[in-house]
């Protein structure tokens, strides 16, 4: 039997944590292993529990979600953090993504969106709607952090096409349709691209691509990215 996805919920509002817990624990493949009320507590709980996915609020007392995300990812580079926020244009949330978070979720998201985002982040995908991907792209140049290399010579022509599609926020299914490939082939290419460019997940790949000047020909379609 597959082990459940172990989730840590971090939010300074008890009712928010309770609501997320009730939703997640109703899923057979998920287990809430702990809660934290601020970023400082989140660091301790993450070290103690080593959860598969962390739901992280942005604005909290003592240590906010941006600082907590940065410290957690620095300590455990394979950490999967899903940012929670009230507004989809919250610059603080995008700064947390730049700090190493793997996804972005509104607190008023539907139940299916929440569980889908947790599963996507756990699988190494990004949980970003296309409009959020575009906003992230707009903010890349303004966010702190080292610039990416200007070239990706290790990529084959096909991998470069896949990398460009990822930069546009396309899902594996959309990349498959665009490049006339099977989804399993696309998945293989995506894995190789991530390894070659040093991207920890699709969010990081979007940032690296746009810092390097690799941009898609047009905006991504208006369907959720995975």
Q: Per-residue pLDDT for 129 more than 80?
A: no
Environment class of 52 (CB within 10 Å of its CB; exposed 0-12, middle 13-18, buried 19+)? buried
* Superfamily of domain covering 5-127: Response regulator (3.40.50.2300)
Determine the Cα–Cα distance for residues 16 and 212; give it in Å rounded to an integer: 38
Q: What is the pLDDT of residue 56?
A: 94
Instruction: Choose among 55, 185, 192: nearest CA to 119.
Output: 55
Q: What is the pLDDT of residue 27?
A: 95
Residue-range domain boundaries for the chain: 5-127, 142-211
Q: What is the pLDDT of residue 126?
A: 65
Q: What is the pLDDT of residue 45?
A: 96
Q: What is the pLDDT of residue 100?
A: 85
Question: Of the spans 17-31, 115-129, 146-160, 211-225, which averages the highest pLDDT?
Answer: 17-31
Instruction: Choose among 160, 169, 107: nearest CA to 140.
Output: 169
Q: What is the pLDDT of residue 31?
A: 96
pLDDT per position as a tens digit, 170-224: 778 888 899 999 988 988 998 899 888 888 777 778 778 877 777 665 444 344 4
DSSP string covering 35-102? EESSHHHHHHHHHHH--SEEEEESS-SSS-HHHHHHHHHHH-TT--EEEEES-TT-HHHHHHHHTT--
Q: What is the pLDDT of residue 8?
A: 97
**β 30-36/81-85 pair status:** unpaired
5-127 and 142-211 in the same fold: no
Q: Per-residue pLDDT for 89 more than 90?
A: no
90 confidence band (pLDDT: 50, 70, 90): low
Find the mean pLDDT for residues 98-104: 82
The pTM of this model reads 0.70
Q: What does each C-alpha distance from 26 to 33, 74, 172 come to in angstroms?
A: 14, 32, 28
Determine the Cα–Cα distance for residues 72 and 66; give it in Å rounded to an integer: 10
In CATH terms, the fold of domain 142-211 is Arc Repressor Mutant, subunit A (1.10.10)
Sign of the four-CA dihedral 57, 63, 69, 73 = negative
Q: What is the pLDDT of residue 205?
A: 82
Q: What is the pLDDT of residue 145?
A: 47
């Amino acid at each position: 039997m597959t082990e459940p996805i172990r989730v840590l919920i971090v939010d300074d509002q008890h009712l928010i944590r309770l609501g997320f817990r009730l939703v997640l624990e109703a899923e057979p493949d998920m287990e809430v292993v702990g809660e934290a009320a601020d970023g400082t507590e989140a660091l301790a709980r993450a070290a103690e529990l080593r959860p598969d996915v962390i739901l992280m609020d942005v604005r909290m007392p003592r240590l906010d979600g941006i600082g907590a995300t940065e410290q957690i990812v620095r300590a455990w580079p394979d950490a999967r953090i899903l940012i929670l926020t009230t507004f989809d244009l919250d610059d603080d949330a995008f700064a947390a993504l730049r700090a190493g978070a793997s996804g972005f979720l509104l607190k008023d998201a539907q139940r299916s969106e929440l569980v889908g985002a947790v599963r996507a982040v756990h699988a190494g995908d990004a949980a970003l709607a296309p409009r959020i991907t575009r906003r992230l792209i707009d903010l890349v140049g303004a966010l702190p952090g080292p610039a990416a290399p200007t070239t990706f010579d290790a990529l084959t022509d096909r991998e470069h096409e896949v990398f460009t599609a990822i930069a546009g926020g396309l899902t594996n299914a959309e990349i498959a349709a665009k490049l006339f490939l099977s989804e399993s082939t696309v998945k293989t290419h995506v894995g190789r691209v991530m390894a070659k460019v040093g991207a920890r997940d699709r969010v990081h790949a979007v940032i690296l691509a746009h810092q390097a000047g690799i941009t898609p020909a047009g905006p991504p379609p208006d369907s959720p990215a995975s």
